[in-house]
Amino acid sequence: MTASLDASPVAEVRAFRERLAGLGGDLDDAARIEALRELEDLKSAAAAAQARISVDFDASQRAAQAAAGVSARRQGRGVAAQIALARRESPHRGGRRLGAAKAWVSEMPYTLAALEAGHLTEWRAELLARETATLSAEHRAEVDRQVCGDPARLQGLGDRRLVAAARRAAQRLDPMDAVRRASRAERDRTVTSRPAPDTMSRLSALLPVTQGVAVYASLRRYADQQKAAGDPRTRGQLMADRLVELVTGVAEADVIPVNVDLVITAESVFGADNEPADVTGHGPVPAGWARDLIRTAIERLGPRAAGWLRRVFTDPVTGDLTGMDSRVREFCDGLDRLIAARDAGICRSPYCDAPIRQADHVVGYDEGGRTSALNGQGLCQACNLAKEAAGWSAQPRPDPRHTVDTTTPTGHTYTSVAPEMPGTRPSPYPIDLVWAAWLRSSEPARRRTRRRSTADRGSRRPGRPRPCCRRGRAPAPGTAGPRRCRRCRTGRRGRTR
């Protein structure tokens, strides 16, 4: 670059962002509304600039990988993850952003222009890219022209009306597009689970419409039958319980023979403390709820209870789990569970909320990395594949909690810190102050130790006097042993030992 760093576009954007921090203090209400509108347009223009930069970055990275001899099939690996890290988003969302940016720049110029001018938000521009994903390049460009060619047509359109306009134009150009979209959507059927407030979980199923309607109708019919028979539960409760019973095969929804990784302190288990517990993959739960879960499992299963209280030792100040080492390359079941519990069941890549699928080495095994808790981290499959691309590196850092520094091919470093474990008791003082206080308190004792003679550092086995008591002293009255000196009989403050 010929321009200096202070005059670079990046520095200009940073300076403008800093000036925005003081905006709005001395404005009247009308000016505040105008400022809100201009800032919203600025967000759209920034999204358009991010799209162009992302496309250029993808092309540059692919060219560099091709020059380095990377096969065509592997070119582009890790690019979306780098974009996601820069935007503080998950790799999945980073890939979606990159795909939409490519569509705007190469095939949807009117959408990109509307985004730059502030007539569209980034989310609505992504909706247009999604609705035209199965069209040919020519039909996609025509839908883009019909919907966004005239910015005045975009005024006042909400998400649903904008999507309807894009679908209407697409079906006119390609009537078979709806069939292809249905076939593509059917391949994406899946079941997902997300944590919900108050120790609940939200289970969702994406199904073809006929199957989804049939499942709901069956659950609804069962709930109506049970209500007619006098069951006091609500229809929603009956449908939820029936779903659990059908899927798991148990007779009662409250008795589930499935392993649940619950990390809890010993004090909370026995009611001496109310430190929140942690369900791996879900998050923190109240200590009382965790005790009820353990108690209910033991009471309902009785002698068939296959419950385990696995001791997981943590540092009482930092909360970091104690390590386990292995001499093999693969992470054993116990070490795998330890890493999953330490990382709370969530991928350790920054900004990624995907569940852990694989435990892998921070420093590769082929590079001398050990198979240990310190050199292990839980990752989702996408993040684990991304870090295997050329130019990526990671190092564990000896911080109070398990910390990993990941460096991307561009030289940027991102830090991931393991979540706090239940029972963590952080010190109210900084570590350096605690260390200095320990040095001051222990310095006089260490000085006294250095002034002691060689004879004073003799054996101190129980029942054996110090060497100083054996140097020609007469036996104590009424005893057969030697007389003890005052130093052996008293402590530093005159207390009798």
Distance CA(280)–CA(283), nearest Å, equals 6
pLDDT surpassing 50 at residue 1: no
Q: Is the pTM of this model over 0.85?
A: no
% residues pLDDT > 90 (the chain)? 39
pLDDT of residue 351: 92
Better pLDDT: 293 or 403:
403
Sequence-distant (6+) residues with CB within 8 A of 448 are none
Q: Name which of 359, 350, 340 is nearest 278 in CA terms.
A: 340
pLDDT of residue 210: 87
Mind giving me the DSSP string for 230-242? T--S-HHHHHHHH
- Residues 409-465 have pLDDT tens digits of 999 999 999 888 776 655 444 444 444 444 444 444 444 444 444 444 444 444 444
Specify which of 248-257, 313-322, 412-421 reaches the highest per-range mean pLDDT: 412-421
pLDDT of residue 199: 74
* Cβ pair 295, 453 in contact under 8 A: no
DSSP E strand boundaries for 37-142: none
In terms of C-beta distances under 8 Å and separation of at least 24 residues, what long-range contacts does 367-373 make, across chains too? 370/325, 371/325, 371/326, 371/327, 371/328, 371/329, 371/330, 371/331, 371/335, 372/323, 372/324, 372/325, 372/326, 372/335, 373/321, 373/322, 373/323, 373/324, 373/325, 373/335, 373/338, 373/339, 373/342, 373/402
pLDDT of residue 312: 53
| Helix segments in 366-485, DSSP class H | 381-386, 431-451
Exposure of 435 in the CB half-sphere (CA atoms within 13 A): 3
| Helix segments in 356-430, DSSP class H | 381-386
Specify which of 143-157, 294-308, 315-329, 379-393 reaches the highest per-range mean pLDDT: 143-157
Distance CA(218)–CA(230), nearest Å, equals 19
Lowest mean pLDDT among 131-135, 251-255, 307-311: 307-311
pLDDT of residue 4: 42
Phi, psi of 128 (to 5 degrees): -65, -40
Specify which of 120-124, 303-307, 316-320, 325-329 reaches the highest per-range mean pLDDT: 120-124
Question: Residue 475, by phi and psi: left (phi above 0), alpha (psi -120 to 50) or beta?
Answer: beta
H-helix or E-strand containing 377? strand 376-379
Lowest mean pLDDT among 5-9, 165-169, 404-408, 438-442: 438-442
- Decide: helix, strand or coil at residue 309: coil
Phi, psi of 472 (to 5 degrees): 75, 15
* Cβ pair 53, 60 in contact under 8 A: no
pLDDT surpassing 50 at residue 325: no
- pLDDT tier for residue 368 given thresholds of 50, 70 and 90: confident
pLDDT surpassing 70 at residue 324: no
Q: Name which of 330, 416, 340, 320 is nearest 365 in CA terms.
A: 330
Q: Name which of 198, 222, 307 is nearest 256 in CA terms.
A: 307
- Residues 195-223 have pLDDT tens digits of 787 778 889 999 988 899 999 999 999 99
Amino acid identity for residue 323 in this structure: G
pLDDT surpassing 50 at residue 191: yes
Task: State the average pLDDT over residues 271-280.
Answer: 74
pLDDT surpassing 60 at residue 82: yes
User: How many helices (H) and strands (E) are present in the chain, helices listed first?
Assistant: 17, 12
Could you say which DSSP state residue 457 is in? G
% residues pLDDT > 70 (the chain)? 72
- Residues 216-248 have pLDDT tens digits of 999 999 999 999 999 999 999 999 999 988 888
pLDDT of residue 303: 52
Sequence-distant (6+) residues with CB within 8 A of 409 are 61, 64, 78, 82, 389, 390, 391, 392
- Which position has the token pair 């049970």? 226
Mean pLDDT of the chain: 78
pLDDT surpassing 60 at residue 470: no
pLDDT of residue 416: 92
Better pLDDT: 182 or 472:
182
Phi, psi of 368 (to 5 degrees): 100, 5
Could you say which DSSP state residue 421 is in? P
Q: Where are the domains of the chain?
A: 14-187, 189-255, 325-417, 431-489
Task: State the average pLDDT over residues 73-85.
Answer: 92
- Decide: helix, strand or coil at residue 329: coil
pLDDT of residue 434: 41
Task: State the average pLDDT over residues 283-303.
Answer: 71
Residue 301 structure tokens:
């299963």
* Cβ pair 409, 82 in contact under 8 A: yes
Cα dist from 119 to 112, 229, 376, 423, whole Å: 10, 57, 47, 51
pLDDT surpassing 70 at residue 73: yes
Could you say which DSSP state residue 38 is in? H
* Cβ pair 346, 353 in contact under 8 A: yes
Look at strands 200-206 and 190-196 and give their pairing.
Answer: antiparallel
- Residues 105-152 have pLDDT tens digits of 999 999 999 999 999 999 999 999 999 988 999 999 999 999 999 999
* Torsion sign, CA atoms 465, 469, 470, 475: negative
- pLDDT tier for residue 276 given thresholds of 50, 70 and 90: confident
The dihedral over CA atoms of 146, 148, 153, 156, expressed in degrees to the nearest 10, equals 140
- Which position has the token pair 């992302």? 54
Distance of CA 66 to the CA centre of its chain: 32
Could you say which DSSP state residue 330 is in? S
pLDDT surpassing 50 at residue 71: yes
